[in-house]
Chains A and B, each alone.
Chain A
Amino acid sequence: MSCMGLIYSYSERENLRELTDIRSLAALPIGGKYRIIDFVLSNFVNSEIYEVSVIARTNYHSLIEHLASGAEWDMSRKRGGLRVLTPFANKEAMESPHVYRGTIDAIANHLQSIRQSMSEYVILTGSRILYSMDYGDLIRQHRETGADITVAYTDNLNGTNRVPQGSPIVQLDESKRIGRVRIVEEEQANVRGNWGIGACAIRRTLLESLVADAMSHQRYDLYTDILQRLSPTLKMYGYKYSGHLLEISTIAGYMEANKAMLDPEFSEKIFQKTVYTKVKDSVPARYGPDCYVENSIISDGCQIMGTVINSVVSRGVQVDRGAVVKDSIVMQDTEIMDLATVEHAILDKDVIVRDGREVIGHPAYPIVLPKMSIV
């Protein structure tokens, strides 16, 4: 199958506070040992698509560090392979307040690179909604219907708690052809209609001309200026997705997505197909003689001497004697020292919580400790 992936490594509509100040959304750690991009990229690997471009916007340092050559996803290749498309900072761009004026502008910025591809189709995907999809099947339907654009949608919440703001709601006829498209202005807790999960398929040359056309009219947003505006003229179809979803556009969503992985049944679905990530060669996790661990995900390289309950713990984390970690997310190489307490908190990488200190948030508003902070 001649197909390439195009991933937005950021979202224009996320609010993850300090977590994405220092990194792209796609580089955000999740589920212990992963970053968001791992789930996105693994979909391509598992669909045998080995040509993927990742659009970077700002603060992509950790994204590039994580992806490196793409070898961990089997994407270090001569034919295709992984490419990170960093913004082209010419004089005009340096003076503009936005790196990209919108999702269309982002593609326009990288049209040269996209044009060089020999793939016939492009699969566009965002990074804030995680799903597990066989793109082969999406492309098959796209071809069979002769669609110009095929939009993946669902009529369900599939394990998430809300339809995030900015999602497209598509109206379908019996043949699944898309009529009207509406954009969700406020996030909604229940589903009203079929909502797009942020993935679509399109012929590469058509994408190029649609983008060029929109740019010449100063139209920059993919959803409003292409999906919505062109729905009467283009042949657009829906592709129904009914697997699980994880939604990460707010702190609450991020907490819920991590907690969802604590449910063994849900987690089995998420990891049914291999999710690839960067290998750290850490030692197996160690549990001390007085530890207590309940309903938690623990990663390699951890040393657990204290108590961990209902939490997701990344690689190389130390929970020292008498320390308690509850209902929290702890990122890589953070240390929680003797007798310290961490509750309803998100501890970024390399944080130190010193002896006996307390970091206690509220279920409705978890505390976020930025990278390398010391309490």
Chain B
Amino acid sequence: MSFIKKKAMVAMLLAGGQGSRLGVLTKDVAKPAVPFGGKYRIIDFPLSNCINSDIDTIGVLTQYQPMELNAYIGNGQPWDLDRMYGGARILPPYVRGKEGEWYKGTANAIYQNIPFIEQYSPNYVIVLSGDHIYKMNYRWMLDHHQQKEADCTIAVIEVPLQEASRFGVMNTDANLRITEFEEKPPKPKSNLASMGVYIFNWPTLKEYLIRDEADEYSSKDFGKDVIPAMLADHKRMYAYKYLGYWKDVGTIESLWESNMDLLKENISLELYDPRWKIYARNANLPPQYIGREATLKNVHVSEGCFIEGTVENSIIFPKVTIHRGAVVRNSVVMSSTTVEEGAEVHYSIVAEGVNIGRNACVGGPSEPVDHPRISVVADHIRIGNEARIEAGTVVDRDR
């Protein structure tokens, strides 16, 4: 097709995950659309990483609760991905012939979009997931891939050995060539965990996707099927060690922790970085107003907020109102939430559009700092005046 240009590398972003361990936070939205860090959503990280790495052609594979995510990505303009050639494309599962088909697994999702990738006849395809918070230059990873003349390169991060069993774990030789790959092994032999970032030579990947699709016993998954099959064939597979901040925000605790990490000084997830901005869709709100009786200590506050109360060690999303005498500590408060006079919020994640009534108290003020029990209030819930929500409770409406 004459109006399509060749692209050296195309990104495929798996954004169909439900994120079931995030519970009430993902009941209406896909995990990549979960808000993070004051004004972002999780998917802003891989999208911004792509554009900052000069990758401008991204297929975003959606499936679970795609409406909000689709609206959020729109034409890709906030990430500079509204392009004449390439740009961000939402790729939902679609009907072929007489049959409709969902994405049956990560590998199948890419398989179904082979025609999308082929339009650009790329040399490389980078497969990303919309589940992680990290800043990474994929160009450097591609350099590594090319230097090693690899067929596939998997980005890895060192994790404590006892936690490695939660991840896909790589055993490598001294040259970083992967000798063994185990998906969530009970007894991991290495502490190199897969970050879910893969670069493949496209012709090789295509061949394996077609083969995997034909295998009726395959679960159509990268970690379980495609990677092991390539290893078994002695393909050149290399690990790429990533040294920066990376966090899987798949649970309430890790989502809270990762937000709190932003408040620490000298972490490598520095968002205040003009050369590596994380872009997000903008809500066009006025700046924040800090009132006459407000106290702020070590907090991040976003646009459109109205703060009259006390806020410490917290991340405050846009358009949040914290009234006089209210106290918010060690918490994440999402957009358009109101904390009424005298109310308290401790160690909590409060979702969008919540109203916390006068003198109500959410969460426990004296949780252990290391492993506090995190309370969660689902979106658009109204917590009554004087109500008490115990530490570690999840508040959701009846359904």
Contact = CB atoms under 8 A, between A and B. Distances in A.
Given A71-B77, A275-B284, A286 B300 contact: yes
A287 B313 CA distance: 10
A31 B287 CA distance: 8
Nearest to A270: B286
B286 A264 contact: no
A281 B280 contact: yes
Interface string A283-314: 11111111101111111110110001000000
B286 A287 contact: no
B292 A285 contact: no
B38 A262 contact: no
B301 A298 contact: yes
B43 to A, nearest CB: 15
Contacts of A88: none
A288 B301 CA distance: 11
Contact of A275 (B272, B286, B289, B302): B286
B301 A297 contact: no
Contacts of B37: 284
Interface residues of B, number: 33
B286 A33 contact: yes
Interface string A356-374: 0000000000000000000
Among A31, A264, A267, A293, the most chain B Cβ lie within 10 Å of the Cβ of A293
A32 interface: yes
Interface residues of A, number: 37
Contacts of A308: 290
A274 interface: yes
Contact of B300 (A264, A274, A284): A284
Nearest to A274: B284
B298 A288 contact: yes
Contacts of A271: 285-286
B78 A279 contact: yes
B303 interface: yes
B290 A281 contact: no
A372 B301 CA distance: 27
Given A289-B297, A291-B296, A295-B292, A283 B287 contact: no
B306 A264 contact: yes
A281 B303 CA distance: 12
A281 B277 contact: yes
A289 B298 contact: yes
A60 interface: no
Contacts of A288: 297-298
B287 A287 contact: no
A293 B287 contact: no
A131 interface: no
Interface string B275-293: 0011110101111111110
B38 A283 contact: yes
B135 to A, nearest CB: 12
Contacts of B282: 279, 281
Contact of B279 (A281, A300, A303): A281
B8 interface: no
Contacts of B278: 281, 283
Contacts of B294: 293-294
Contact of A284 (B38, B78, B277, B297): B38
Interface of A: 31-33, 71, 261-262, 264, 267, 270-271, 274-277, 279, 281, 283-291, 293-301, 303-304, 308
Given A283-B39, A287-B297, 4 more contacts: A287-B298, A287-B299, A290-B297, A293-B294
11 contacts: A262-B289, A264-B306, A276-B284, A283-B39, A285-B288, A285-B300, A287-B298, A294-B294, A298-B301, A299-B303, A308-B290
* Leading 10 A-B pairs by shortest Cβ distance: A284-B38, A32-B287, A287-B296, A299-B287, A284-B302, A284-B300, A293-B290, A279-B282, A283-B271, A271-B286
